[in-house]
Structure 1
């Protein structure tokens, strides 16, 4: 039986009832190795859990289905997924275009790790297709997009970026962590590969660290499978199981994240101490029309700037009580952070440095009245 509804896929793709026991939840295959029926006689193709594990296989099949890709891969972290992809498609002398406000960890990977390996990069605003096109070089192997970006929530037009990348013989890679596959599926819009930190919305409960790749091209999938096995930064079986459990409620959670974020944004836009709110659901957001076209809704992430500068931003972060001061995002609980000193500290002093009066919210699924009241008291009302 085949099915197409997102929430049905989230619950059933790769997760058929166990043939022997009828268990409706995929078991945790907490094993490193597998008995063989003679030399090379593998049962179900399993020999060693770095190469394959039934729990991880279930997660990878589910991820591919949710992102409309041909193959999915689960990793120990989002950064492990990024590194494996880049070492698969790039080599010394290659060039990659990254967002002008990329996630700090992605920027660090390029500037501190891959640059030493001989991979060059340019950071350009990916909401500006002309700037992206102008940055392309003969050695460009990938355009790396985040949409929405972290933490300024800029929007890139996936179809346009795919056209630019493909005209140059390069790949379009989209970090879909902020949107999740429930709100946005880059592959049908032309992306070649999708990256996730599954720690965030896919896991959804702040209890597991993981990463994922989903690709459109089976040949790229074969190359990635080789590198995943060879480099070894795979998701363990319990982490894969926790992520699968989180995915089952992704759709209903995202509906609540989005609804709560819209209410929070409404309050922030009317507050005298706030000078700017970054949220693609706002009609005056520069990427609103593009986001409206390629997203189901506008997400649970909100950033804003304070009239009284960095000290005010730090004070809001410290005074919040329902919003927990912490890094990461996408969990059921609301988080607040100061990107300049926390998640994006690695970009300090670079062209990707974020404003020091910026606060980032991951709006959770608590009662929205409590979230609004907490923000207002933190802001001084």
Structure 2
């Protein structure tokens, strides 16, 4: 069985033929020559191009837990792996395009169970669809397993009476509160009730979590984030082992024109090659920063009120994360008394960049409640930290300086 680190570098490189390019070529074309009267694999670029295949296949294999390289146009697996029956992933023009396509697997009148804390763009889209009567929205605390199971049972019963489908959408860890769901339990209950199950795996990446192995129907990614890893492109992906769902998602992508550009695909594939080393470095930094900032709580040195990271013993789902995830990730949050204090800290940073998004090689910091659509259950003074691969001492010193400076200024103002 090929290790993930090896497969990230070796997968999707095509057949081993003398004179073949080491890296897959890029298709800068909108259409293809066809042969009258013959079956032609490639026709028009909106339907698909050859240069998408390496990344689509690589992502599918990572999510399914298979590692063998691409040979021709098929997948090679071994009996010892007990692999998920994987289908090629589907690349989209953005994470939201992938999310929209998956959401539209629900026909009008369907029910969507969604974490109360989830990616803000999708949360807003789901609410808009609910307001227009396209679906019924049920928000849950995804970390409260028994409560979610009860919601699944109640909504499934209601939907059965209405003859309408139900989709369970899981984000774990959640954005930005980092709650960790009991994936095996929730997916098993949802499947028992006949729900469509979707997991947003952007934060964990397939190197830390593989929801298809737990029975998820579809996995979605913002490729923009950790997968591409350099904050220089927008892209999404959806992966499924279900042939009918794959067909419907492909049809949606084609008819809605939600396709990625060839250069973006090239850059994303290049970025994925270094995912393992980037994630390991960023995760190591995040864990160390979380421990150092947690040690400041209660000292009076700063105005920190809380530090949240799944790798800390104080995280509400630490034990679950330790048992379920292959690592604790590169995202943590710190909480300050209010939005003004948090903004002042951000204004005094030098190395950290105040910016939205996450998963790049550089460290970003953002106060999430600056967005009007972020739920009020997110503290006003919460800062989400996307930790990069810089030296951890530099990252700590920069943020600590800003925290101390603002705390000192606030003490002076208050006498």
Q: Classify the TM-score, shorter chain.
A: over 0.9
The answer to whether the 8 Å contact 1:13/1:62 transfers is: yes
Choose the corresponding residue for 2:335, options 291, 302, 305.
Answer: 305
TM-score normalised per structure 2: 0.86
Task: Look up the match of 2:291.
Answer: 266
Give the alignment of 1:121-132 within 5 angstroms: 121-132=137-148
Gap regions ≥5 residues in structure 2? 65-85, 160-164, 406-415
Give the alignment of 1:181-192 within 5 angstroms: 181-192=206-217
Choose the corresponding residue for 1:79, options 96, 113, 128.
Answer: 96
The answer to whether the 8 Å contact 2:346/2:402 transfers is: yes
1:136-172 C-alpha deviation (Å, 9 max, x unpaired): 3132521111110000000001101101211221022
Give the alignment of 1:57-96 within 5 angstroms: 57-68=53-64, 69-87=86-104, 89-96=105-112
User: Structure 1's 70 and 4: CA in aligned 2 closer, same or farther, altered over 3 A?
Assistant: farther
Distance in 2, matches of 1:67 and 1:354, equals 30
The answer to whether the 8 Å contact 1:9/1:65 transfers is: no
2:89 partner SS = strand
Distance in 1, matches of 2:130 and 2:14, equals 40
Distance in 2, matches of 1:200 and 1:103, equals 13
Cα distance, 1:39 vs structure 2: 4.7
Distance in 1, matches of 2:27 and 2:316, equals 47
Choose the corresponding residue for 1:15, options 6, 13, 16.
Answer: 13
User: Structure 1's 115 and 169: CA in aligned 2 closer, same or farther, altered over 3 A?
Assistant: farther
Cα distance, 1:113 vs structure 2: 3.7
The answer on 1:160 being equivalent to 2:177 is no
Choose the corresponding residue for 2:175, options 132, 136, 150.
Answer: 150
Give the alignment of 1:306-325 within 5 angstroms: 306=336, 308-325=337-354
User: Structure 1's 346 and 40: CA in aligned 2 closer, same or farther, altered over 3 A?
Assistant: farther
The answer to whether the 8 Å contact 1:18/1:26 transfers is: no
Task: Look up the match of 1:108.
Answer: 124
1:32-57 C-alpha deviation (Å, 9 max, x unpaired): 10111225552xx1101111111112
Cα distance, 1:18 vs structure 2: 7.5
Task: Look up the match of 1:346.
Answer: 373
Give the alignment of 1:129-140 within 5 angstroms: 129-136=145-152, 137-138=155-156, 139=159, 140=165
Q: Taking CA–CA contacts closer than 8 Å with sequence separation of 6 or more, which of the two structures ends up with the larger relative contact order?
A: 1
Cα distance, 1:115 vs structure 2: 4.2
Further displaced range: 215-224 or 45-54:
215-224
Further displaced range: 131-140 or 254-263:
131-140
The answer to whether the 8 Å contact 1:17/1:25 transfers is: no
Distance in 1, matches of 2:267 and 2:260, equals 11
Cα distance, 1:191 vs structure 2: 1.5
Gap regions ≥5 residues in structure 1? none
1:182 partner SS = coil
Distance in 2, matches of 1:166 and 1:115, equals 27
User: Structure 1's 319 and 295: CA in aligned 2 closer, same or farther, altered over 3 A?
Assistant: same
Distance in 1, matches of 2:109 and 2:354, equals 41
Task: Look up the match of 2:50.
Answer: 54
2:203 partner SS = coil
2:103 partner SS = helix
Distance in 2, matches of 1:119 and 1:205, equals 36
Distance in 2, matches of 1:41 and 1:70, equals 22
The answer to whether the 8 Å contact 1:143/1:172 transfers is: yes
Task: Look up the match of 1:28.
Answer: 26
Cα distance, 1:277 vs structure 2: 1.0
1:274 partner SS = coil
Distance in 1, matches of 2:310 and 2:334, equals 12
Distance in 2, matches of 1:76 and 1:114, equals 24
1:166-199 C-alpha deviation (Å, 9 max, x unpaired): 1221022111111111111111122211110000
Task: Look up the match of 2:315.
Answer: 285
Distance in 2, matches of 1:267 and 1:318, equals 21
Task: Look up the match of 2:35.
Answer: 37
TM-score normalised per structure 1: 0.93
1:6-59 C-alpha deviation (Å, 9 max, x unpaired): 1222122222258584211111111110111225552xx110111111111221
